[in-house]
Amino acid sequence: MRKDELLNAAESLLADQGAGCLTLAAVAERAGVSKGGLLYHFATKEALIKALIERLIADFDELVAAQDESSYTRSYLAATLAAVRSGRLRRWAVVTGAAGDPQLLAPLREAMCRWHRAGMEAEADPMAAQIVRLACEGLWDVATHDPEIYDESQYEELHQRLLALLPSP
């Protein structure tokens, strides 16, 4: 889909130039399209950013759903580690920054709420699940700002230790 390529362009631009440089002209150029072409697909800049955020959320939800684990928390943990390890994560922090209007972040707030409340009643030890999910969130944050902080073996150990916090199924 053409739209996806445009979103990719916006995303990569955002990643290595920052929110300040996210102009319609720049996105169009990076996507190898004229500004008119870009605006044909996204009528306004807001629409572009909105799509960016929604795709981000949908991607992660999909990744969580794709995990074959026995609880939401375990899937969430596995998905987070997979995402972080793959290095495809410069995105989050920067995208949220691109939203000049805080209302654009509403879907993100909704998702955040979902990610940290979903399936809590099904957990044997809800507070332990809470902690694991919080650590996942923190991992996103830290790894985004400092990608070198953990190596493969540390990720592995982190995964094991976090799993160990959850009551065995």
Which of the choices a copy of itself, DNA, none does residue 57 contact, using the CB cut-off of 5 to 8 A by kind?
none
Report d(CA 134, CA 48) in Å as an integer: 30
Asked if 112 touches a copy of itself (CB under 8 A), the answer is yes
Size of the site for a copy of itself (CB under 8 A): 45
In angstroms, what is the minimal distance from the CB of 87 to DNA? 28
Residues 2-41 that bind a copy of itself (CB under 8 A): 16-21
Nearer to a copy of itself, 63 or 128 (CB): 128
Query: 36: which residues sit within 8 A by CB, 6+ positions away?
Result: none
In angstroms, what is the minimal distance from the CB of 35 to a copy of itself? 20
Nearer to DNA, 100 or 138 (CB): 100
Sites of contact with DNA (CB under 7 A): 2, 21-25, 28, 33-37, 39-41, 43-46
